[in-house]
Amino acid sequence: MNISGNTIFIPGSTSGIGLALALELKARGNTVIIGGRRTDLLEKVTAEHPDIHTVAIDTADPASIASAAAQVLEKHPDLNVLVTMAGIMRVEDWQQPESFLDTAEATVTTNLLGPIRLIAAFIEHLRAQPDATIMTVSSGLAFAPLKVTPSYNASKAAIHMLSESLRLQLADTTVKVVELEPPSVRTALMPGQETSEFAMPLDEFVAEVMALIEAQPDAREIQVERVKFLRYGEARGDYDQVVATLNAHDPHGK
C-alpha cells in the first residue's frame, strides 16, 4: 500500500486506532472516509475535521453495510483502499454459559462477519482498480491468548487466517492484502485500557504504523515492535512464557 494518493474507507473509525489512523492518512495526502454507527460521533468528526468524509454504517448489520458501500462508491468512485477496522472486545467466563454466549455471538458478528461482509461489498470494485488494498485488522491476541477474552482471541485468529487465504486467492489481481496487528493500545476498547501503563500510547502506535507503511509498501503484515513478543512466541520457542506473561499483569492482560 502506498502511503499517499489513495481513497480510503475505514468503517469503525469514529474513535481510537481507526480515527487516529484516518487523520494521519489524511495528513499524508489521502482522501479518507470514516464510518460509524453513532451519528453524534460522525457529526463531531465532521465539525472538527471538515476534510474527512463520513458515512453511517453498522458493521453488524448486512443491510447497513450494503447501503454504506453504495453511498461510498457513488461519492468516491476512485476508492482503492478498504480498512476493516470495526471490532469489539468483551470479558467472558466460559464456565458460565449465560456469561459468554451472547457476547461470543456479538463478537463473531462484528469482528469476523463484519469484515467478511465488508470485503464482499467492495471486492468487485477493488478488483477493477489499477492498484488496491484490503487492510484487515487482527491483534497480537490472534497469536497468544488473553484468558478473559476467548471470543475476541478466536475472532482475531480467524482474521489472520482469512487474510492469509485472501492473499493467495487475490495473488493474480491488483488487490493486495495487508494485515495490521496491534498490540494492546491505549484506547477505549476495554475498560481501563486508555490509561493502562502496559498498553502502547495511541500516538506512538499510529506513528510507528505510518512509518512501517511508508518503509514497506509491499508488507503483508504491519507489526510494531511491541506486538512481536506475541506474534512470534511459537517461532521463538517461548510460547508458554509469552502466555504466562500476557496473563500475569491484570485482568485484561495489558
Catalytic residues: 152
**16 conformational bin, left if phi > 0, alpha if psi -120 to 50, beta if neither:** left
For the chain, list the strands marked E by DSSP. 7-11, 31-36, 53-56, 81-84, 132-137, 175-180, 221-222
Residue 167: closest CA among 158, 154, 179? 179
DSSP 8-state secondary structure symbol assigned to residue 201: P
Residue 34: closest CA among 81, 2, 78? 81
3-state DSSP helix/strand/coil % of the chain, to nearest 5: 50, 15, 35
